[in-house]
């Protein structure tokens, strides 16, 4: 993992920091695991804008990722580590011994030619997926299920990881990337290791055009809007705009919006830090 700082031969490259892509082994995706990806531009089925600041962007194809790792006990060889335009982490192409091919989220340190396997009675090594009941305490994990059989939903982005802290009965205590400590059923699957591409946080786009390539349109600051458009709009000249809040009046910067009666509150041991 490394990043490169470009020489400023153009204004857009003066502050640009790019990924070294050392871990990437091929630039050709597996055709059988590609699907078309339609863009909505933030519009719903009636053509009305329901999500602002979306649109444009480079054309992409979706890579079908196996988040469930249900092929228990069948070893798979890592054929390649690839870039995925739809996520910050790198992905790994697995060739199973029964001939099937799948994509999975790649972990740091996963090498081409390495064998990975999922199931209950497997070694807790990087890239292997197993239930929380079988993972040694203190292990760094990622790609965690929240409900058995649901597929990985937590700790999937670049450099993300969680830690298995304890087990008690049918629940395991896991410290999540946000800092929240939470109870998760021990029958839920997780993958050993830290998600790849840890240097993603060091990248600098260098120019506004790169955000447009990613499908992000310019965002208007609420303080420069009119009162009809936002609670923080209006005023003569550069006025501060009052207390920071959302478009529909909910305060920002520290205001807790989580429901006090939410059913999953009882599974949260310690809330994330402010």
pLDDT in tens, 182-228: 999 999 999 999 999 999 999 999 999 999 999 999 999 999 999 99
Look at residue 79 and tell me whether its pLDDT is greater than 80: yes
Q: How far apart are CA 257 and CA 210, in angstroms?
A: 32
pLDDT digits (tens, 9 = 90+) for 124-153: 999 999 999 999 999 999 999 999 999 999
We find that the CATH architecture of domain 3-200 is Beta Barrel (2.40)
Strand residues in 97-188 grouped as ranges (E):
101-105, 115-116, 129-131, 140-142, 162-168, 171-175, 181-185
3-state secondary structure at position 3 = strand
For the beta carbon of residue 129, count every other beta carbon within 10 angstroms. 26
Q: How far apart are CA 193 and CA 107, in angstroms?
A: 6
With a threshold of 0.75, does the pTM exceed it? yes
- Nearest one of 109, 112, 110, 76 to 94, comparing CA atoms: 76
pLDDT band at 273 (very low <50, low <70, confident <90, very high): confident
| pLDDT score recorded for residue 238 | 86
Q: CB-side exposure of 169: number of CA atoms within 13 Å? A: 2
Look at residue 1 and tell me whether its pLDDT is greater than 70: no
DSSP 8-state assignment for residue 131: E
Q: How far apart are CA 188 and CA 183, in angstroms?
A: 11
Q: Give the residues across from 102 on adjacent strands.
A: 94
Can you give the residue ranges of every domain in the chain? Answer: 3-200
Among all chains, which residue has been given the structure tokens 């340190």? 109
Q: CB-side exposure of 171: number of CA atoms within 13 Å? A: 10
């Amino acid at each position: 993992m490394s990043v490169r700082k470009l020489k400023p031969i153009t204004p857009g490259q003066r502050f640009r920091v790019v990924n070294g892509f050392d871990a990437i082994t091929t630039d050709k995706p597996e055709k059988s695991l590609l699907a078309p990806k339609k863009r909505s531009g933030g519009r719903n089925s009636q053509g009305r804008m329901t999500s602002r600041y979306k649109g444009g962007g480079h054309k992409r194809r979706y890579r079908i990722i196996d988040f469930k790792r249900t092929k228990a006990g069948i070893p798979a060889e890592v054929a390649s580590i690839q870039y995925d335009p739809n996520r910050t982490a790198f992905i790994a192409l697995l060739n199973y011994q029964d001939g099937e091919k799948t994509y999975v989220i790649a972990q740091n340190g996963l090498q081409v030619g390495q064998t990975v396997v999922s199931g209950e009675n497997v070694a807790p090594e990087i890239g292997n997926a197993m239930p929380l009941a079988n993972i040694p305490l203190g292990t760094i994990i990622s790609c965690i299920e929240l409900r058995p059989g649901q597929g990985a939903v937590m700790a999937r982005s670049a450099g993300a990881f969680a830690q298995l802290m304890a087990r008690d009965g049918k629940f395991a205590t896991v410290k999540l990337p946000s800092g929240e400590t939470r109870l998760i059923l021990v029958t839920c699957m997780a993958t050993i290791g830290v998600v790849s591409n840890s240097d993603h946080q060091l990248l600098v786009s260098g120019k506004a055009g790169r955000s447009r390539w990613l499908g992000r349109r310019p965002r208007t600051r609420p303080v420069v809007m009119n009162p009809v458009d936002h609670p923080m709009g209006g005023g003569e000249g550069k006025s501060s705009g009052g207390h920071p809040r959302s478009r529909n009046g909910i305060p920002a910067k520290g205001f807790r919006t989580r429901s006090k009666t939410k059913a999953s509150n009882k599974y949260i041991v310690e809330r994330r830090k402010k």
